[in-house]
């Protein structure tokens, strides 16, 4: 994962704040009880551990420590998310930043770091949404401003380059199911040709019918095409393979809502947010998807119903 200019300073700043918590704990008393000592040791190791695995373990201990303050837990979750992102554990990193934001919705570090992961994965709208939110809270946040500019520059060029690379790859290897799914997904989340996206996902599933990722991709394509029953079927199939994946559960909730099953749909959305905090914002970044039943929305495709509501 490429480290943008200013990211090192962001990490140093976060670690200074974690270190400050340690110093504050030491001032409280010369002989704190054992649980307090353990907490302070974990806070220190979370920010200064020599190896990512060591920092992740220490940050996990802080995040689950009932005696830790919300600020300490949020800082630990952000540090753990940054370490996981460096290890390319992007889904888990995004979840960590989402949990930090539930503790502290105005935490610009969490917003900026989550945006950086979205940008790394090519989800530019999600990245820009996070950078804009960070800048709304802190207009002088130079790291978020730099990352926003990079995301704006890279959004168009990167998508075109990635599509060209995938097309070239598929010319050499037409049965590459992963490449077909990736092209389907890129088209779906970047307002591309939905007919072409559906064809790619269909082809990928003929090759690898048990791919939950591809079923998820096709579910989003079908949601945007207004094919809500078919989308529901795709998300149900994906959940049969991975029952606790919040991304699939949120998609099923949207499909159920559009089909008029409001109670079950809302339950899915709530459960999905618990499994993967921030998943609703991620779906919004793919192109705003209304949650009203289709009959009330005129049964129009979601990409049309969204209008200019995209963040």
Residue 47: predicted pLDDT: 87
Compute the residue count for the chain.
Answer: 311
Give 70-73's long-range contacts (Cβ < 8 A, gap of 24+).
Answer: 70/103, 70/104, 71/21, 71/103, 71/104, 72/18, 72/21, 72/39, 72/43, 73/100, 73/103
Domain end position, chosen among 97, 116, 135: 116
Reported as a single tens digit per residue, the pLDDT across 38-86 is 889 889 989 888 888 889 999 998 999 888 899 999 999 999 999 999 9
User: Does residue 109 sit in the same domain as residue 201?
Assistant: no
Is residue 218 in some structural domain? yes
- Domain harbouring 291, CATH code: 1.25.40.10
Distance CA 100, CA 37 (A): 23
Single out the residue in 56, 90, 116 at which a domain terminates.
116
Domain count, the chain: 2
User: What residue numbers bound the domain in which 24 lies?
Assistant: 7-116
Whether residues 104 and 205 fall in one domain: no
Buried b (16+ CB within 10 A) or exposed e, 52-76: eeebbebbbbbbebeebeeebbbbb
- Read off the pLDDT of each residue in 150-175 and give the average, rounded to a whole number: 89
CA atoms within 13 A on the CB side of 13: 12
In a domain, 128, yes or no: no
Return contacts of 135-142, CB within 8 angstroms, 24+ apart. 137/106, 137/108, 137/111, 138/108, 141/108, 141/112, 142/6
Residue 108 and residue 200 in one domain: no
pTM equals: 0.54
Q: Spell out the alpha helix ranges (H) of 49-176.
A: 52-63, 70-86, 90-103, 108-120, 124-137, 142-172
Each residue's pLDDT tens digit, 28-48: 455 555 788 888 988 998 988
Domain identity same for 195 and 284: yes
214 domain-assigned? yes
Q: Among residues 116, 143, 174, which one ends one of the domains?
A: 116
Pull the structure tokens for residue 1: 């994962």
- pLDDT (tens digit per residue) in 90-107: 889 999 999 999 999 999
Residue 177: inside a domain, yes or no? no
Residue 95, in any domain of the structure: yes
């Amino acid at each position: 994962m490429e480290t943008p200019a200013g990211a090192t300073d962001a990490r140093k700043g976060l670690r200074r704040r974690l270190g400050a918590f340690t110093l504050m704990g030491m001032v409280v008393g010369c002989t704190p009880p054992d649980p307090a000592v353990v907490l302070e040791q974990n806070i220190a190791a979370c920010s200064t551990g020599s190896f990512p695995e060591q920092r992740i373990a220490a940050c996990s201990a802080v995040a689950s420590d009932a005696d830790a303050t919300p600020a300490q837990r949020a800082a630990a979750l952000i540090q753990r998310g940054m370490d996981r992102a460096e290890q390319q554990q992007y889904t888990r990193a995004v979840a960590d930043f989402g949990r930090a934001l539930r503790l502290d919705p105005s935490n610009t570090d969490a917003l900026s770091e989550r945006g950086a992961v979205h940008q790394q994965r090519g989800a530019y709208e999600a990245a820009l949404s996070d950078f804009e939110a960070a800048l709304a809270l802190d207009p002088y946040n130079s790291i978020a401003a730099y990352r926003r500019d990079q995301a704006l520059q890279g959004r168009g060029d990167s998508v075109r380059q990635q599509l060209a690379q995938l097309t070239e790859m598929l010319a050499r290897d037409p049965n590459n199911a992963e490449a077909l799914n990736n092209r389907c997904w890129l088209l779906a989340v970047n307002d591309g040709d939905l007919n072409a996206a559906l064809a790619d996902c269909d082809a990928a599933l003929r090759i690898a019918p048990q791919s939950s990722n591809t079923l998820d991709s096709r579910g989003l394509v079908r949601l945007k095409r207004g094919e809500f029953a078919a989308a529901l079927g795709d998300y149900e199939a994906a959940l049969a393979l991975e029952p606790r994946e919040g991304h699939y559960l949120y998609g099923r909730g949207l499909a159920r809502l559009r089909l008029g099953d409001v109670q079950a749909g809302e339950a899915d959305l709530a459960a999905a947010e618990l499994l993967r905090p921030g998943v609703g914002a991620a779906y919004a970044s793919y192109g705003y998807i209304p949650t009203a039943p289709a009959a009330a929305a005129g049964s129009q495709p979601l990409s049309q119903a969204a209008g200019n509501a995209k963040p």
